[in-house]
Structure 1
Amino acid sequence: MNKTIFVLNGPNLNLLGQREPTIYGTTTLADIKEKCLAKANDLGFDVDFRQTNYEGELVESVHQARNGACGIIINPAGYTFTSIALLDALKTFDHPKIELHISNVHARESIYHNSLISRVATAIMIGLGAAGYELAIQAMAGMVGRD
């Protein structure tokens, strides 16, 4: 069994720690990556951690995961609500998929309430802050273990 979890991050997440800290906190994406790698290692998994501001690059990462990952954890950021291309790419991935959001999107403006990605997600983690990533790694390890 492949033991690599892809952790994919969409637009503007490279600005974590600087952008709207009252919503997203002060933890940086580099901090999150470090914690994901450590958590996955403790559980016997590898992580391929990526961030892009470009929709096509995020779609390509999903395509690469088809042959290189046992699961995908994805924070699609703004593409959550707009990207049919990302939705279609995720439909082609036959293993567990966790949609993750740092903030509680349902407590925010209505534009953030309708996720296209939720339609194909195995599970959704919302509003747990940066710690949600480590929890998602743990959840994914459990899901993959059941496959």
Structure 2
Amino acid sequence: MISGLLKLILGFVLAIAVLLGSGLTVALYFVNRTAVPPEKPLFANDNPPPKPKSEQPKATPAKSTSTSKPKPTPKATPTEKPKTLPPGAYKATITWPQGLSIRDKPGLDASSIGGVAANKTVIILEESQDKNWQKIRVEDTEQEGWVKAGNTKKVEE
């Protein structure tokens, strides 16, 4: 009678220990799976990451010729003057790590017309009446549109 009762109690204790152990193992597995952030997606308009020096093509030395030809002298090329900023405009960089969507008008309901990557230099042209949106021009592409305010940092020149 007593040995049967001990076997019953030991059976319950072992069953509970197995259930707790397997439940804890499954919980830790899923916690560890969700703790790893996914890779950043690459889009067509993203700049490719710089290649490591080992992958860059090596320069080959030019072969010299024994014939003496006069070398052309370089001509002075006119340099472009840096574009002046409109009155009240200033340069800024994008601080949002994922980049920003450029919209055709200020507001969340406006349609997206492009995007700008993080750490990209833009020109802030104006701000909306409520100061929640900024009209920008991307320096490289000359694309203009509206982005949410607070995601840029003024560049000190």
**Does the alignment reach a TM-score above 0.5?**
no
Into which bin does the TM-score normalised by the smaller protein fall?
A: under 0.3
Relative contact order (alpha carbons < 8 A, sep ≥ 6): 1 or 2 greater? 1
| Structure showing the higher strand proportion among its residues | 2
What TM-score results when the alignment is normalised by the length of structure 1? 0.21
- Is the radius of gyration larger for structure 1 or structure 2? 2
